[in-house]
Amino acid sequence: MQSKEILFLTWKDIKHPNKGGAEWVIYEYAKGLVSKWHNVVWFASWFDGAIDEENIDGIKVIRKFNINTIYFKAHNWYKEYKKSHKIDLIIDEAWGIPLLSPLYEKNIPIIFMIHHIWEKEWDFKFIFPINIIFKFIFWLILKLYKNKNTITVSNSTKNELVTKYWFEENNITVIENCLNLEPLEYIDFEQKEDSILFLGRLTQIKRVEDAILWFKEFHKNNPSYVLNILGIEQEEKYVQNLKDLVKNNNLENNVFFRWFSKDLFFEYLEKSKVLLVPSYKEWFWLVVIEWNAYWLPAIWYDVAWLRDSIQDWINGYKVSSWDFETIWKLLETTLNNNENYIKLANASLETAKSYYWWDSSIDELEKYIIHLIK
């Protein structure tokens, strides 16, 4: 099969200091397409200390403009680049806002790739009416792509695109992400501590206060347990409110804030017994599977995206929002019955293993690309 030139358009690349899960997914796909003898170019924003152009695992990475101006200047770069390069297909990825390729490319096939929809998070980031203005702008941008061939990573996002943004259902393909974390083959349950874990960004959309209140009631009958909040501080005032909540409920000796590092990440995954996920919306559903890879089941609110990764009584439990009583009972049932707990932890690991291989997802993407080009 003849190799194709595939252009990825994103606002950040795999070396950007603010890279996240979406960039790792793009990196895996780009690297996989290179291994299949395709030419892959990855255009993204420049950052302090960055090299303008470099080769990363066979991927040609080109960086121009900064993370804000790239949206207004990408079309100028593209027009110049296209004069001297043959492009067979564009993958315009949205981790938030895409690079608006339908405005300046009318002939080459475009795949719109979207992980999640930010709509809910803007309600916390901006006051009214600025949040509404951003939502309206985002709606206008998505209109550019609603008739494009679209790839997303979960049925939750697909359903949102169809029901809220009027995308054509038949144009949307779901290709699930895979793990970048190797499942832990053995764990000594005797070494696990009486420890419950919250892991994630410390922002309002994560509802960390609910994890604290869940733990508060559980702790009344289970005083040996602690709650470790391992996070990245992103909203200083919100973090202070969480600390005040802990203090006002006399939990200072039982609830601990730990600031995220790679070493602590693996340490707490291995020694904790259960994970609490009270988010309003968990945009990257694969994170729960990553935690399952360390034999760690989850208790979570029944929200979009997490529905795609957690199966009741297999790798965790889903609970209606603010149903604290059910959560306390699940914690009691899970953690005070060692046989039940070990069974759930084993099932969590097996769930993670089923998402471990990227090869099938890369094959699926390549077939999709070739079909569109033909």
Q: Identify the pLDDT of residue 9.
A: 97
User: What percentage of the chain carries pLDDT values higher than 90?
Assistant: 43
Mean pLDDT: which of 80-84, 260-264, 310-314 is highest?
80-84
pTM of the model: 0.81
Q: Identify the pLDDT of residue 137.
A: 87
Model confidence over 221-252: pLDDT tens digits? 999 999 999 987 767 889 999 999 999 999 99
Question: What single letter denotes the amino acid at residue 285?
Answer: W
Q: Find the Cα–Cα–Cα–Cα dihedral 33, 37, 39, 43, rounded to 10°.
A: 30
User: Taking 80 as the threshold, does the pLDDT of residue 119 lie above it?
Assistant: no
User: Taking 90 as the threshold, does the pLDDT of residue 33 lie above it?
Assistant: yes
Mean pLDDT confidence for 147-152: 94
User: Taking 60 as the threshold, does the pLDDT of residue 1 lie above it?
Assistant: no
Q: Which of 13-22, 75-84, 179-188, 206-215 has the lowest mean pLDDT?
A: 179-188
What is the strand order of the sheet 298-301 is part of? 255-259, 226-233, 195-202, 274-277, 298-301, 316-319
User: Taking 90 as the threshold, does the pLDDT of residue 256 lie above it?
Assistant: yes
Overall fold of domain 189-353: Rossmann fold (3.40.50)
Mean pLDDT confidence for 111-127: 80
Q: Identify the pLDDT of residue 304.
A: 64
Integer-rounded Cα radius of gyration of the chain: 22
Q: Identify the pLDDT of residue 282.
A: 64
Sequence-distant (≥ 6) Cβ neighbours of residue 18 within 8 angstroms: 12, 67
Model confidence over 77-116: pLDDT tens digits? 999 999 999 999 999 998 778 999 999 999 999 999 998 7
Q: Structure tokens of 119? A: 């709509």
Q: Identify the pLDDT of residue 169.
A: 92
Q: Identify the pLDDT of residue 138.
A: 86
Q: Which of 150-164, 189-203, 210-224, 272-286 has the lowest mean pLDDT?
A: 272-286
User: Taking 70 as the threshold, does the pLDDT of residue 321 lie above it?
Assistant: no
Q: Which residue has tokens 């090299």?
A: 51
How many angstroms separate the Cα of 274 from the Cα of each of 95, 348, 371? 29, 11, 43
Mean pLDDT confidence for 313-325: 66
User: Taking 80 as the threshold, does the pLDDT of residue 118 lie above it?
Assistant: no
Q: Identify the pLDDT of residue 227.
A: 96
Looking at the chain, the domain(s) classified CATH 3.40.50.2000 span 5-178+357-373, 189-353
Q: Identify the pLDDT of residue 190.
A: 82
Model confidence over 189-209: pLDDT tens digits? 888 899 999 988 888 888 899
Q: Which of 9-13, 237-241, 308-312, 364-368 has the lowest mean pLDDT?
A: 308-312
User: Taking 60 as the threshold, does the pLDDT of residue 283 lie above it?
Assistant: no
CA–CA dist 194, 154 (Å, integer): 33
User: What percentage of the chain carries pLDDT values higher than 70?
Assistant: 91
CATH fourth-level superfamily of 5-178+357-373: Glycogen Phosphorylase B; (3.40.50.2000)
